[in-house]
Amino acid sequence: MSSILNKLFTKYLFLTNTLTTGGLLAIGDCITQTMETAYARRKDRDLAARKHIHNWGRTGRMFSIGVMLGPFNHLWYTKIIEKVVTTGGARGALKRILADQAIAGPFFCFSFFFGMGLMEDRGVNGALQEVKDKFLTVYIIDWFVWPPAQFINFYYLPKKFRVVYVSCLTLVWNTFLSWYKHREIEHKHEE
């Protein structure tokens, strides 16, 4: 088992990080849909039984956007951020957090909403509208969640474990993202 894990975090690190990012977005969506169904059942048991079936297309889109963002995630946490910030110790961790919040945070947030909008056939205008509607709220919440988590990441963990650490923490974050993204009952499609 340790030889398999060693290969996953050395030879196959890019693949591990990319699939982990996609997989955990999908799992976050499954958790969200389970909570949505449980909430609906408490409100109206008969209606919930008829209308709340797991939307595998939605979960597939969440997985797909994660796989698309996975390569940047891998490169950002294993290579780029080390070149952007070369300082070590606590000071370096704080600089990496600021770089992460200023560069990666907006990139991931924009890409998530825009990419999901495109995959939902909302068109460029519809995807951009969703970014306009949801980006700022999610980015503000991001500032409360990620800096403390990233301090642990940048100060204590070796580079090869950074993406998996972030991906594991993002299970909670992804559950929130899925809820926030899909909280509207119907989306308006752009023609």
- Per-residue confidence (pLDDT) for residue 49, from 0 to 100: 54
Would you place residue 50 in the very low, low, confident or very high pLDDT band (cuts 50, 70, 90)? Answer: low
Domain extent listing, the chain: 2-182
pLDDT digits (tens, 9 = 90+) for 117-152: 999 999 999 999 999 999 999 999 999 999 999 999
Angle at Cα 43 formed by Cα 37 and Cα 45, nearest 5°? 70
CA distances to 25, 105, 144, 184 from 158, rounded to whole Å, are 23, 21, 24, 40
Minimum mean pLDDT among 11-20, 114-123, 176-185: which range?
176-185
pLDDT of residue 46: 58
Q: What is the sign, positive or negative, of the torsion defined by CA atoms of 79, 80, 84, 85?
A: negative
Report the share of the chain in percent with pLDDT over 70: 91
Integer Cα distance of 87 and 124 in angstroms: 40
